[in-house]
Structure 1
């Protein structure tokens, strides 16, 4: 197996980036009155998942810093998973869109937790 040289090569980064872009596309349809509340919150938290993964990757030589940034990413992913619940309740997204996002973030969270539980696999 070839060594991963960039955070962009991490499957979890790719998935979180794709999910963040999906959220961006979905939230473009949200009402204007949500611009500075729900839309802003879900976009910021979704983007923070991949941003924290990128930072964690660069800190992997320091196991505690690596796990700390992964923990931040996990928290942002959990927050992001919360906002579609509100979006569904407000009828801004369909049940299918909500379910799809929830499944993606469950998978992303699982991958992040696996990295947290096995930091030695990522150290340099």
Structure 2
């Protein structure tokens, strides 16, 4: 028994990115706890949350709306990654990996939404 969203690759990938973001933010300075750390964690969690919430709706139009929220949250994560890199909280290597993951996930979500 499982929820239908658990089978979606976009949900699985968003969960993976969320855990990776969580792990890198553990090392952010404590004075960022209520700022950048909180913002990027909420944004990345929102990606998977909106995919799962949208998937249980009856209409594809509603699901598309929630996928739009996920796509925008992914863009928010990218902006937070830039801020983290500019503040030297993450390495260029970590930035490039997470940026690439977000880029690919965004394209996957757009493609999925277009197929609905």
Q: What TM-score do you get using the length of structure 2 for normalisation?
A: 0.95
* Aligned partner (choices 90, 94, 97) of residue 94 of structure 2: 97
Structure 2 counterparts to residues 17-96 of structure 1, below 5 A: 17-59=15-57, 61-96=58-93
In structure 1, the gaps of 5 or more residues are 120-124
In structure 2, the gaps of 5 or more residues are none
Deviation at 1:29, TM superposition (A): 0.4
Aligned to 1:111: 108
Aligned to 1:122: none
Q: What TM-score do you get using the length of structure 1 for normalisation?
A: 0.89
Deviation at 1:8, TM superposition (A): 1.3
Aligned to 1:10: 8
Deviation at 1:116, TM superposition (A): 1.6
- Asked which structure has the greater CA Rg, the reply is 1
